[in-house]
Structure 1
Amino acid sequence: MTDTKLSTDNRAIKTTVIIKQAMAVTGLFFVAFVILHAYGNLKVFLGEKDYNDYALALRTFLMPILPYEGLLWILRAVLLVCILVHVVAAFYLWHRSAKARGSRYMVKKSLATAYAARTVRWGGVILLFFILFHLGHFTLKWAKIGNPAAYGSHQVTLDAAGAVVPEGADSAVITVTEGYPYAMMYTTFSNWWMVLIYGIAVASLCLHIAHGVWSALQSVGWLRRNTEVPVQIISGLVGLAVLVMFLLPPVCFLAGLMPAPAPVA
Structure 2
Amino acid sequence: MARVLCVTTTLTTHQRAFRSTVVKKFTMAVTGLIMIGFLLMHMYGNLKAFIGAEAFDHYAGWLKGATDDGGILYPIMPAGTFIWVFRFVLVLAVILHFWSAVTLWSTSNKAAGRSYERKKTMARTYSARTMRWGGLIVAAFLIFHLLHFTITPSAFHPDPSSAYAMIVNSFSKPWMVAIYAICMVLVCMHIRHGFWSAFATLGLNMSSRSRAILNGLAYFVAVVLYVGFMVMPLAVLFGWIG
| Residue 46 of structure 1 pairs with residue 29 of structure 2 | no
Pick the aligned partner of 1:57 from 45, 57, 62: 62
Hey, what's the Cα distance between the residues in 1 that align with 2:46 and 2:190?
A: 20
For normalisation by structure 2, the TM-score amounts to 0.89
- Aligned residue for 2:121, secondary structure, equals helix
| Residue 185 of structure 1 pairs with residue 167 of structure 2 | yes
Pick the aligned partner of 1:31 from 11, 36, 39: 36
Structure having the higher strand fraction is 1
- The aligned counterpart of 1:80 is 91
State the 1:5 CA deviation: 10
- The aligned counterpart of 2:100 is 89
Pick the aligned partner of 1:212 from 194, 197, 205: 194
| Number of matched pairs | 227
Q: 2:127, 2:190 within 8 Å by CA — same for their partners in 1?
A: no
| Residue 101 of structure 1 pairs with residue 102 of structure 2 | no
Structure 1 regions of 5+ residues with no counterpart?
A: 152-178, 261-265
- The aligned counterpart of 2:183 is 201
Q: 1:191, 1:254 within 8 Å by CA — same for their partners in 2?
A: yes
In the TM superposition, what whole-angstrom CA distance separates every residue of 1:76-101 from its partner, at most 9, and x where no partner exists?
A: 11111111110110011111111101
Hey, what's the Cα distance between the residues in 2 that align with 1:230 and 1:62?
A: 35
State the 1:142 CA deviation: 4.6
115-124 vs 238-247, which deviates more? 115-124
- Aligned residue for 2:124, secondary structure, equals helix
Structure 2 regions of 5+ residues with no counterpart?
A: 1-8, 66-71
- Is the alpha carbon distance of 1:208 and 1:8 closer, same or farther for their aligned partners in structure 2, counting shifts above 3 Å? same
Hey, what's the Cα distance between the residues in 1 that align with 2:188 and 2:168?
A: 23
Seq. identity, % = 39
Hey, what's the Cα distance between the residues in 2 that align with 1:236 and 1:62?
A: 33
| Residue 257 of structure 1 pairs with residue 240 of structure 2 | yes
Q: 1:35, 1:242 within 8 Å by CA — same for their partners in 2?
A: yes
| Residue 138 of structure 1 pairs with residue 138 of structure 2 | no
Moved over 4 A (4+): none
State the 1:66 CA deviation: 2.5
In the TM superposition, what whole-angstrom CA distance separates every residue of 1:37-82 from its partner, at most 9, and x where no partner exists?
A: 1111000000111111111111122334423321111111111111
For normalisation by structure 1, the TM-score amounts to 0.81
